[in-house]
Amino acid sequence: MIKKILVSVLALTAITTLSADAANKPAVKKVPPPPDYFPVRIKDSEGKPIEWWWKYTFTKSEMNGKPMEKKPDDFKVQVISAEKQPDDITFWQLDTTGPAMKTIHEWYSKQKGKVVWEKEKFGDDDKMQVTYTPERVLLTNPLKKDETWPWKGKGNFGIEIDNVSTVSGPEEVITPAGKFQAMKIVVTGTQGGQPINMSYWYANYIGLVKSAAKSGPMESESSLLDYSFKKPPQK
């Protein structure tokens, strides 16, 4: 009996000591992941395939000087694949699909401090494909206020492009998918000899949440409707 009591006392002492040590240790702060304004995935944390997509609503407001009915067209952007290149850089394929459009295939690479727009293809016609040279930076990652970068080259159909991108923000953006703090990229210049003015709003860990474009008499806008990687609501 005495032996059992001694064992119990020793066990209790050990537990008390461990509890005291744990209480005296400073709490480990969770370090947030680095900013990422272009998150893309094809597998979850356990290596299982997942669907990673964004849905948008798209509205044109004017064409050829004549007002258009503001009837939104929804479209979806989905991560299709991650293709490792010979130089070990991964090309992420994103497809844009909608009810009244050919599928747009786009490939991007995520390199240190930037996202590079590698190539683009409309539908399945190889003649409607372009590889961007020189290197075309879509966005810096993470985005920082007052950053700027130019790009001059040829787009699909051989269209001459001469653009400058400038970053501002953060600013609050409200879409059907929710409220976001986003950085804004304004792209100005010419495309096919026509002046353009395009704006893109990117939210950290979400990606593109809104865009707007103006070229001649035409204006358009898209807003995020939904996305597949929402965090479950906290109980």
Tens of pLDDT, residue by residue over 213-231, are 988 778 899 999 999 998 7
Question: CA–CA distance from 110 to each of 21, 90, 199, 233 (Å)?
Answer: 44, 7, 21, 30
pLDDT for position 100: 78
Enter the DSSP assignment of 7.
Answer: H
Query: Which residues lie below 8 Å from residue 119, measured CB to CB, with a gap of 6+?
Result: 106, 107, 129, 130, 131, 132
pLDDT for position 230: 86
pTM, to two decimals: 0.83
pLDDT for position 29: 75
How far is Cα 217 from Cα 203, in angstroms, rounded to an integer? Answer: 29
Residues 184/167, Cβ–Cβ less than 8 Å: yes
3-class DSSP assignment, residue 9 = helix
Question: Which token pair is 145?
Answer: 């206020």
> Could you say which architecture CATH assigns to the domain 53-227?
Beta Barrel (2.40)
pLDDT for position 146: 98
pLDDT for position 216: 76
Q: Which residues of the chain have pLDDT under 50?
A: 1-20, 22
Domain boundaries, the chain: 53-227
pLDDT for position 99: 86
pLDDT for position 24: 63
